[in-house]
Amino acid sequence: MPGDDLILEGGQVLTMVPGAAPAQAVALSGDRVLAVGSNAEVARTRGPETRVIDLDGRTLVPGLIDAHAHMEREGLKTLRPSLAHARSIADVLAVVAAEAARKPPGSWIVTMPVGQPPFYFGGPSNLAEGRMPDRHELDAVAPDHLVYIPGLFGNWGVPPGHSALNSRALALHRIDYATCPDCSGLTIELGADGQPNGVIVETNKRPLVEFSILTQVPAFGFEDRLEGLRRSLPLYHAFGTTSIYEGHGSSPETIAVYRRLWEEGGLTMRTRLCVSPTWSNVQEARLAMRDWLSYARGRGTGDPMLSVSGVYIGLGGDKAAAGAVRRALPNTGWMGFVEWANRIEDFSDYAWLAAEHDLRVHSVVVDRLAEVLDVFEAIDARFPLAGRRWVVEHVGYVTAEDIARVRRLGLMVTSIPFYMLWKNGASRLSDEARQEQFLPQRALLEAGLPLAAGSDNIPVSLFTAIWASVARQERTTGRAIGPGQALERLQALQTVTRNGAFLSFEEDRKGTLAPGRWADLAVLDADPLTAPVDTLAHIRAELTLVGGRAVHGHSFLQAQS
């Protein structure tokens, strides 16, 4: 249901309409923006039932659009016991013991990783002993249970990840000194007796241990994922996010979870998904595109709250890992998408099929943009891509020639500035000559491309993306990477509002505040245009509205009553 008639006045309203000066007030009627302008102009729309809220100088912006959200993950983290407070093995064991006291014998105890969320940097180095608890220590506090402390999900932090199991969990998986994982990047540690000590070290970015040798660990089930999604929504809304775009693809079960919540009327985030396919070869892909994916063709199928359009086609990956994940379906672990293993030739075959069946292609390119553009240009000669808005995501190195090619093809570009610059930028510092080509946000915007930015769920706030776009600092040295590509604050805000709407062909409905647009907006606790740079990443929303209805900040509304 739409919201009531509402006027928010006496603030700074950043409409994000190109060239528009800040306004003072906005009027909403139902689920739409009625008027934007000065206090006096907007006051003329007031009716007898209109509620008026004094912004008291606060900044109001269009609802933020996360171009690469992985939103369903965040709530899942709350379903397992946290070890964030743990500073010693004794602290970890106390959590396991408490779980053992409340769970029946023979059941599983599965926690979150050791370390500080959201990154879990350092893993066991956060503990006084500098190591994980071994199987004997876990046995001492939970002898009748199966215990598993997982390593970090590599996208959150930086591998390696350290897992720990007790003896019963090792025995269930038949892990002994001779066990050889079928996926690379896994090491089973041995104790002084030559037997596994319960610790497994993984260097894979996306953990495969549960798909390879720990296949009996309870996976997140459908109801877990549904509850996790419910819990994710308020966490994203708290930072002003009103729309997400999952261009990295969503597995069939992930899409089903979103559909269930939408069907129940509980989906408060405008959600745009694309399909993460389960096919293993071109023959399967041809049948899937021809017979089953008609709903995802063109601009897709859906309504203002949930829609699905196009497919994700991965480039690169490990064949053994992709096979292990497919064998575990519908379980996708923390990923939410289906792992891939595609050579550029495979990528090309799938992209050609997608063009033939009018399916938008999305792909994470990082530093392989030029190769992807070669494929897309060949396809464009047979199936013109203009207007289809295929998406290249997670861009890394981009040259001036690449930018020109992207423009000619009419592609959308998404960036993950916090992930690429702050979290993982250290490896880019040594290549001084190419720093200005690494995530060249300014060059992309100045070329007229509607560059969009996402959080990648690390962390959930898009204000970290805004900060990283402005500061471009790398976390280990504090140095700026390609400072000439730093954005002005309004430009950075543009990448998480107006530009994100182009991804879903909704630039006439959201991303800006103008009469007739959806009443999606956020009232912030600080002005992103003037706040000290080092506070930009910490801005929160005091009020978030989707379609005129409050999805965050009910206490703010009550205080204004």
How confident is the prediction for the chain on average, in pLDDT? 96
pLDDT for position 9:
97
**CA separation, residue 385 to residues 390, 408, 413, 537 (Å):** 8, 9, 14, 37
Q: Tell me the pLDDT tens digit for each residue of 71-93.
A: 999 999 999 999 999 999 999 99
8 Å CB contact between 31 and 516? no
- Dihedral of CA atoms 196, 198, 203, 204 in degrees, nearest 10, equals 110
Q: Is the per-residue pLDDT at 560 higher than 80?
A: no
Q: Is the per-residue pLDDT at 239 higher than 90?
A: yes
Q: Is the per-residue pLDDT at 151 higher than 60?
A: yes
pLDDT for position 333:
94
Give dist(CA 500, CA 250) in Å, integer.
18
pTM strictly above 0.75: yes
For 220, the token pair is 């997140």
Q: CA angle, corner 264, sides to 258 and 267, nearest 5? A: 50
8 Å CB contact between 406 and 413? yes
Beta strands in 226-333 (DSSP E): 241-250, 270-275, 301-302, 306-312
In 11-83, alpha helices (H): 39-43, 72-76
Closest Cα partner for 68 from 303, 296, 394? Answer: 394
8 Å CB contact between 68 and 458? no
pLDDT for position 1:
44
**CA separation, residue 187 to residues 178, 184, 476 (Å):** 12, 9, 27
Residues 6+ apart with CB under 8 A from 296: 274, 275, 308, 309, 310, 311, 359
Phi/psi of residue 20, nearest 5 degrees:
-80, 140
Mean pLDDT of 508-515: 98
Q: How confident is the model at residue 166 (pLDDT cuts 50, 70, 90)?
A: very high
Q: How confident is the model at residue 555 (pLDDT cuts 50, 70, 90)?
A: confident
Q: Is the per-residue pLDDT at 3 higher than 80?
A: no
Q: How confident is the model at residue 321 (pLDDT cuts 50, 70, 90)?
A: confident
Q: Pick 423 or 180 by higher pLDDT.
A: 423
Range 253-259, long-range pairs (CB < 8 A, 24+ positions): 253/222, 253/225, 253/329, 253/330, 253/332, 254/72, 254/225, 254/332, 254/336, 254/337, 255/308, 256/222, 257/72, 257/222, 257/225, 257/226, 257/229, 258/72, 258/229, 258/306, 259/306
Q: Is the per-residue pLDDT at 182 higher than 80?
A: no
Mean pLDDT of 278-299: 96
DSSP helix/strand/coil, 433: helix
pLDDT for position 558:
82
Strand pairing category for 270-275 and 241-250: parallel
Q: Tell me the pLDDT tens digit for each residue of 344-398.
A: 999 999 999 999 999 999 999 999 999 999 999 999 999 999 999 999 999 999 9
8 Å CB contact between 178 and 158? no
pLDDT for position 2:
62
Q: How confident is the model at residue 536 (pLDDT cuts 50, 70, 90)?
A: very high
8 Å CB contact between 127 and 92? yes
Q: Among 2-11, 120-129, 407-416, which stretch is predicted with the lowest mean pLDDT? A: 2-11
Phi/psi of residue 61, nearest 5 degrees:
-130, 160
Q: Among 28-42, 167-181, 374-388, which stretch is predicted with the lowest mean pLDDT? A: 167-181
- What burial class does residue 382 get, using C-beta atoms within 10 Å of its C-beta: 0-12 exposed, 13-18 middle, 19+ buried? exposed
Helix (H) or strand (E) holding 93: helix 89-102
Q: Is the per-residue pLDDT at 493 higher than 90?
A: yes
Closest Cα partner for 491 from 507, 511, 469? Answer: 469
Give dist(CA 32, CA 546) in Å, integer.
10
